[in-house]
Amino acid sequence: MIPGSWQKARTPAEAIALRRGLGPSARYMAGGTALQLNWPEGCVDHPVVDIGDVSFGPDVSIGKNRLLLSAAARLEDLRCDPTVIAVAPAVSAAIGSIGAIGVRNLATLGGNLAWLAGDLVPLLLVLGAKSIGFERGSRGLADMLSDPGDDLLLAVEIPLPLPGRVCFEKVTARAAFAPSLITIAASFSQEGPLLAIGGGPVAPALVDLTAEEHWSNHTDAGVLAQLISTRIDAPDDDFSSGRYRARAASNLLAAFLCEEGTS
């Protein structure tokens, strides 16, 4: 590692300034659990701004209409937090599918989102969450994902109450401690359903069915799955074909929609 290319920030402003000073390949490091996956032979091959000492405020705060989760909150702390369990049980449950406890004790919420491959992203998309950046302030998660820039993510805001029904499924090769092949989420509220995909190599996104005429009239899971699959773009990798990923996600999302129609 080149001397000086590992810097420790104490404030958000300093973190951003240090990252810009270190050049476009520089990255923030929170827990480092996602970042280190790409380090060849464990050697850091890019400049790092360590944000572990930056103060992000309380892990969890609750207002009348929103739950605010700090980007620096460790996933295991959020999973066990009584407020999160009480008002956003779907978030606590989904975190339980991520890595193992040792990983979750280091991993942060901000890292899960900013990594862009995190399993929580589809869930947060269907919950209508917003990201709060130090420079760019509050914006929809989809906007942040399409243009993350080099802003420092400070928090995630989840509107309350949560939609009446929330579904989350991580499709993996094993039941536990396995990387996602594809992760899906759905929420059902009076405004209608929201569906999302992400996880692993799949770009996180809402699945928009509005272009499919009369899609909501379909009650046949096979027909719905067919419609949904045309909206899913999933790549191949060493673990799975994109075709398998799209098929698994479409079938699950169609099943969630059909269950909602009959419940």
Ligand X SMILES: Cc1cc2nc3c(=O)[nH]c(=O)nc-3n(C[C@H](O)[C@H](O)[C@H](O)COP(=O)(O)OP(=O)(O)OC[C@H]3O[C@@H](n4cnc5c(N)ncnc54)[C@H](O)[C@@H]3O)c2cc1C
Binding pattern for the stretch 174-213 against ligand X, x by CB under 6 A and - elsewhere: ----------------------------------------
Using rule CB under 6 A, residue 112 touches ligand X: yes
Using rule CB under 6 A, residue 165 touches ligand X: no
Using rule CB under 6 A, residue 32 touches ligand X: yes
Contact present, 156 and 131 (Cβ < 8 Å): yes
Nearer to ligand X, 64 or 174 (CB): 174
Using rule CB under 6 A, residue 44 touches ligand X: no
Residues in contact with 51: Cβ distance below 8 Å, sequence separation at least 6, in sequence order: 9, 15, 28, 29, 30, 72, 152
The closest alpha carbon to 33, from 82, 98, 97, 127, belongs to 98
**Residue labelled with tokens 């790409």:** 38
Q: Which of residues 129-158 bind ligand X (CB under 6 A)?
A: 152-153
List residues bridging with 108 in a β-sheet: 74
| Min CB(56)–ligand X separation in Å | 8
67: left (phi over 0), alpha (psi -120 to 50) or beta: beta
Nearer to ligand X, 35 or 257 (CB): 35
List residues bridging with 130 in a β-sheet: 140, 157
Using rule CB under 6 A, residue 30 touches ligand X: yes
- Choose, by CB under 6 A, the member of 59, 76, 81, 119 that binds ligand X: 119
Using rule CB under 6 A, residue 27 touches ligand X: yes
Helix (H, G, I), strand (E, B) or coil at 108: strand
Binding site for ligand X (CB under 6 A): 27-35, 37, 71, 75, 98-99, 103, 106-108, 110-112, 114-115, 118-119, 152-153
